[in-house]
């Protein structure tokens, strides 16, 4: 008969209380749209203007808009990597290249349409695409 009554040790000091610090939740939404869409945008209808952040995506812009002509050198478009063709153009200075890309340009070989024909592109994206091509061609 030595059954000791269950030791109700009433010293229940809540040991493992859930931590109160549930403050910093690192799920803050990224503001910069990381456009993961491999867009084959021949006709990008209007509203992707704001979605693409400024700059940084020169290659994306190039592939979706500029490569149409520039990848294959259609109607005399200088191909990225063609140093002989790009050399004299780069020598004009980036500002001139930007201007020609943004506003269009009639050269000896052909006609570069304003913004590559995709006038809904933000200026910064067009410039980024120029940078991309120039970087390939130095």
Concatenated DSSP letters for 26-66?
Answer: --PPP-S---------SS--STTTTTSPSSS-HHHHIIIII
| 17 or 64: CB nearest ligand HEC | 64
Query: x/- string (CB under 6 A) for ligand HEC, residues 76-105?
Result: xxx----------x--x---xx--xx---x
Q: Which residue is nearest to ligand HEC (CB)?
A: 107
Query: Tokens standing for 77?
Result: 């478009």
109 is a site residue for ligand HEC (CB under 6 A): yes
With CB under 6 A as the contact rule, which of the stretches 9-17, 31-39, 43-51, 125-133 interacts with ligand HEC? 125-133
> Residue 84 and residue 120: Cα distance in Å, rounded?
31
Report 37-76 residues binding ligand HEC (CB under 6 A): 61, 65-66, 68-70, 74-76
Contact 27/90 with Cβ under 8 angstroms?
Answer: no
Q: How far is the CB of 78 from ligand HEC (least distance, A)?
A: 6
Q: How far is the CB of 21 from ligand HEC (least distance, A)?
A: 49
Rg (C-alpha) for the chain, rounded Å, is 29
Q: Helices in the chain by DSSP H: which ranges?
A: 58-61, 67-70, 83-91, 94-103, 123-136
Contact 32/40 with Cβ under 8 angstroms?
Answer: no
| 52 or 101: CB nearest ligand HEC | 101
Under the rule (CB under 6 A), what is the footprint of ligand HEC?
61, 65-66, 68-70, 74-78, 89, 92, 96-97, 100-101, 105, 107-113, 115-117, 126, 129-130
């Amino acid at each position: 008969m030595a059954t000791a009554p269950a030791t109700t040790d009433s010293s229940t000091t809540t040991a493992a209380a859930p931590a109160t610090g549930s403050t910093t939740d690192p799920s803050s939404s990224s503001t910069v749209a990381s456009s993961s869409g491999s867009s084959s945008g021949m006709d990008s209808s209007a509203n992707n203007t704001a979605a693409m952040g400024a700059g940084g995506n020169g290659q994306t812009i190039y592939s979706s808009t500029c490569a149409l002509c520039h990848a294959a050198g259609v109607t005399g478009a200088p191909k990225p990597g063609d140093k002989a063709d790009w050399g004299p153009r780069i020598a004009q200075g980036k500002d001139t290249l930007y201007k020609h890309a943004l506003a269009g340009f009639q050269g000896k070989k052909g006609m570069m349409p304003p913004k590559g024909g995709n006038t809904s592109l933000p200026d910064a994206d067009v410039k980024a695409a120029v940078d991309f091509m120039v970087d390939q061609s130095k």
